[in-house]
Amino acid sequence: MTEAIAKLEFCGVRGSTPTPERENGRYGGNTPCLELTAADGTHLILDCGTGLRALGNRWAQSNGANGAHAVDSHILVTHYHWDHIQGIPFFHPFFEPQNHFHFYSFESRYLGPGSLRKALESQLASPYFPVDANMMSAQRIFHEVAGGGSWQIGGVRIKAARLNHPQGCLGYRIETPEGSIVYATDNEPDGGEFDKVLRQLAESADVLIYDAQYSPEQLASTRKGWGHSSWLEAVKVARDARVNNLILFHHDPDSSDRVIDGYLSAARQEFPDTWAATEGMMVNLSKRGVAVKLRESRIGLRKRLRFAATVSGVDQDGKKFEEKAQVRDLTMLGAYLALNNRPRLQSELRVVMEAAGEGNRGSALSFRGTVIHCEIGREHTQNGVGVVFIEETESGLPRD
Ligand SMILES: [Zn+2]
Ligand SMILES: [Zn+2]
């Protein structure tokens, strides 16, 4: 019998606005959208940011959400800010009559009864979009839910709670038989009732996905009252609610990859089982626990080679290591190494390659990379480790 697994995939992780800039491409520039498929086939989408477009394209390739032709999916919308609904007009499955979608969100006091339908359709109204909402031929059913509410979808139990965010927002707890996920983004700590409700929602969850948009300093000063949170607040919620894994989410549009690397490593000092949401990241939940995987993205011309190198980094238990190893291939974006140690995903490796020959002493080539893959390697004796190079800014170029 195959193991029952719930699969969660991150299609958009950026907050506020899409960011196609190169300096934040490693984590990704699409706004919030996640896909969750429980082992019984129950299918959910969390938020409809610009990541939704890529999800639709992927379905087109696989001919539907589960490879079947017609889609039957449940969409939990946290709130109506642009970054959480902007993918809707660009999601092809909404324009295909065989598909069924159930939408869930709250009645906004600005829009009144039928808020959910109004908010979603008004972005296609003239003169904002060339195609009318009537062209959306998929069956769409709208469910207005409230904080404190809970309901069942297939074998999955959903619970909603109000978060502290301008014009309102809902956080969701999703209980599958394979494990529990709490999706709580766009929330500012209030030091009171909201903080308490959030901790109840997140209690003992396997995975907590939480708003970590700002640095603790920004949250305390220039960004106070903007409705978001920090990596430090995320750590506090994770600890108080005793969750198993924390995923930092809703990255600020002005945070480069290096800034997010810094938030992640600071958070891991306080709460080791922390990850930074990355486009293409997959989280599998099963009876055996939670497994995180990153998308293999070392595309480009690949050169097979064997270079001796000295590699230093952090292993899966957070311990530092250094070893003599081999670089097995290189692309323009990254490298593949054979190591005895098992470096932690999303941690930083430093690799110094020796140049061959006596005369080349002192001309070693060094680079830093972030770990995107670690599995038992091709020859089953060592670990195969994939890294993507970390881009250095002009001022941060390594000296050696
Ligand atoms: Zn947002
Ligand atoms: Zn928002």
Query: What pLDDT digit, counting tens, does each position of 158-175 carry?
Result: 999 999 999 999 999 999
Is a pLDDT exceeding 90 seen at residue 14? yes
Tell me the CA–centroid distance for residue 369 and ligand 2, in Å: 33
With beta carbons less than 8 A apart as the criterion, state whether 376 and 383 touch: yes
Tell me the CA–centroid distance for residue 16 and ligand 1, in Å: 5
pTM, entire model: 0.92
Number of H helices, E strands in the chain: 7, 21
127: left (phi over 0), alpha (psi -120 to 50) or beta: alpha
With beta carbons less than 8 A apart as the criterion, state whether 387 and 335 touch: yes
Average pLDDT over residues 25-32: 96
Tell me the CA–centroid distance for residue 79 and ligand 1, in Å: 8
* Nearest-angstrom CA–CA distance, 219 and 241: 21
Tell me the CA–centroid distance for residue 186 and ligand 1, in Å: 5
Question: Residues near 1 by Cβ (< 8 Å), separated by ≥ 6?
Answer: none
Cis peptide before 127, with omega less than 30 degrees from 0? Answer: yes
Tell me the CA–centroid distance for residue 360 and ligand 1, in Å: 52
Tell me the CA–centroid distance for residue 52 and ligand 1, in Å: 14
Tell me the CA–centroid distance for residue 270 and ligand 1, in Å: 25
219: left (phi over 0), alpha (psi -120 to 50) or beta: alpha
Tell me the CA–centroid distance for residue 13 and ligand 2, in Å: 13
Residue with tokens 């390594």: 398
Tell me the CA–centroid distance for residue 386 and ligand 1, in Å: 31
Q: Which of 39, 42, 48 is nearest to 71 (CA)?
A: 42
Tell me the CA–centroid distance for residue 101 and ligand 2, in Å: 23
- Grouping H, G, I as helix, E, B as strand and the rest as coil, residue 227 is coil
Average pLDDT over residues 96-112: 95
With beta carbons less than 8 A apart as the criterion, state whether 20 and 50 touch: no
Please tell me the predicted confidence (pLDDT) of residue 68: 61
Per-residue pLDDT tens digits for 196-242: 999 999 999 999 999 999 999 999 999 999 999 999 999 999 999 99
Average pLDDT over residues 117-144: 92
- Grouping H, G, I as helix, E, B as strand and the rest as coil, residue 282 is strand
* Nearest-angstrom CA–CA distance, 123 and 377: 49
User: Predicted confidence band at 400 (pLDDT cuts at 50, 70, 90)?
Assistant: very low
Tell me the CA–centroid distance for residue 382 and ligand 2, in Å: 45
